[in-house]
């Protein structure tokens, strides 16, 4: 099975959200993308890593690869520094993407103990213009100090990526 992994934002061009310590979302998502690709390949999935500034370019690369699943990885941010936790987006709830989103969301919150903000519906560009079940994962809030510590740590990133990979294997097994 072919899986496209998009690290949200683009290091050097678009930092994405920035935490209190200066941690940039684009660097976190780059690392998560690489790690996830590695673990999925170990589990015999074919992967492509896509991190681009242009949203259509991301969709084109995924579609040309023939991706059967598309994952966009992000870190969340809010004006209130109290906001924290994990949420996973899909275009519609009752769909393959909705199922995938629920498996991933459930693995992340149960294994990391992040606040469960649930599976949500949104019309993000990359969800609308990719040709396969697509989800966008907001792993944790870079604007919250507890979540930022998680996102900054090697162990935290490794745990996030393992949880996402288990969510994918749960989805594929059903
Ligand atoms: Zn983002």
What value does the mean pLDDT take over residues 151-174? 97
Domain 2-173 has CATH 3.40.50.620: no
pLDDT in tens, 44-81: 999 999 999 999 999 999 999 999 999 999 999 999 99
For 60-70, letters b (16+ CB in 10 Å) and e give ebbeebebbbb
Determine the Cα–Cα distance for residues 84 and 114; give it in Å rounded to an integer: 8
- Ligand 1 centroid–CA 8 distance in Å is 5
pLDDT in tens, 71-100: 999 999 999 999 999 999 999 999 999 999
In the chain, where the domains are located = 2-173
- Ligand 1 centroid–CA 64 distance in Å is 23
174, pLDDT greater than 90: no
Q: Is the pTM of this model over 0.85?
A: yes
- Ligand 1 centroid–CA 49 distance in Å is 16
Neighbours of 52 (CB within 10 A): 17
Name the E strands within the chain.
2-7, 46-50, 69-76, 86-90, 116-121, 134-141
What value does the mean pLDDT take over residues 139-143? 98
| CB-count burial class (<10 Å; 0-12, 13-18, 19+) for 18 | middle
- pLDDT band per the 50, 70, 90 thresholds, residue 35: very high
- Torsion 88-90-92-96 (CA) sign: negative
- Ligand 1 centroid–CA 53 distance in Å is 12
User: How many residues are present in the chain?
Assistant: 174
17, pLDDT greater than 90: yes
Percent of the chain, pLDDT > 90? 99
Answer for the pair 162, 37: CB distance below 8 angstroms, yes or no: no
């Amino acid at each position: 099975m072919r899986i496209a992994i998009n690290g949200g934002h683009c290091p050097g061009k678009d930092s994405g959200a920035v935490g209190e310590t200066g941690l940039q979302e684009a660097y976190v998502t780059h690392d998560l993308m690489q790690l996830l690709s590695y673990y999925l390949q170990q589990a015999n999935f074919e992967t492509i890593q896509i991190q681009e500034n242009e949203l259509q370019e991301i969709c084109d690369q995924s579609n040309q690869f023939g991706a059967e699943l598309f994952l966009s990885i992000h870190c969340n941010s809010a004006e209130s520094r109290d906001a924290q936790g994990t949420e996973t987006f899909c275009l519609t709830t009752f769909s393959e993407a909705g199922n995938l989103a629920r498996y991933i969301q459930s693995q992340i919150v149960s294994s990391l103990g992040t606040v469960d903000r649930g599976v949500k519906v949104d019309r993000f560009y990359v969800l609308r213009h990719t040709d396969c079940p697509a989800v966008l994962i907001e792993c944790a809030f870079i604007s919250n100090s507890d979540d930022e510590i998680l996102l900054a740590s090697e162990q935290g990133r490794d745990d996030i990526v393992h949880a996402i990979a288990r969510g994918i294997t749960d989805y594929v097994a059903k």
